[in-house]
């Protein structure tokens, strides 16, 4: 009995079942998020906040606010993730773009230019 086909078959089985497991976890996470979102107290007194509440996890308490619209100032980590996704779409998600903080318009354009030169 050859070892390589046997090993490849087991790798295939593990990948398929891990895909099923992660799909179940993703759907469960979506249900949890919707459940927690519905448990927030609707706030009609504040102008910018739609709902707020306090959540507890692992002994810590978190104050959560759902805004009615986009915030005026985004955290840098969120800006990096949004711009990284946009730049990656230029290369059809085949090449990893280079983008460092702070993501200024010049750095974003430079990253797109570098990505296009690699295609």
Domain ranges of the chain: 1-39, 41-69, 76-118
pLDDT given at position 83: 67
More confident residue, 24 or 75: 24
Please tell me the distance from the alpha carbon of residue 31 to that of residue 23, in angstroms, as a whole number.
13
pLDDT given at position 76: 64
- Is the pLDDT at 71 greater than 70, yes or no? yes
Confidence band, pLDDT 50/70/90 cuts, at residue 70 = confident
CB contact at 8 A, 97 and 108: no
Task: For residue 21, give the 3-state DSSP assignment.
Answer: helix
Nearest residue to 90 (alpha-carbon basis) of 116, 64, 70, 60: 116
pLDDT given at position 59: 85
Confidence band, pLDDT 50/70/90 cuts, at residue 26 = very high
Mean pLDDT, all residues of the chain = 80
pLDDT given at position 15: 95
């Amino acid at each position: 009995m050859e070892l390589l086909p046997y090993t490849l078959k087991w790798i295939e089985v593990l990948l398929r079942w891990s895909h099923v497991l992660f799909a179940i976890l993703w759907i469960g996470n979506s249900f949890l998020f919707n459940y927690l979102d519905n448990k927030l107290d609707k706030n009609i007194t504040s102008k910018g906040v739609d709902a707020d509440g306090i959540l507890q996890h692992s002994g810590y308490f978190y104050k959560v606010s759902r805004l009615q619209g986009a915030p005026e100032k985004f955290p840098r980590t969120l800006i990096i993730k949004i711009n990284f996704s946009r730049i990656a779409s230029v290369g059809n998600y085949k090449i990893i773009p280079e983008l460092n903080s702070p993501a200024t318009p010049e750095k974003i354009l430079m990253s797109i230019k570098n990505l296009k030169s690699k295609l």
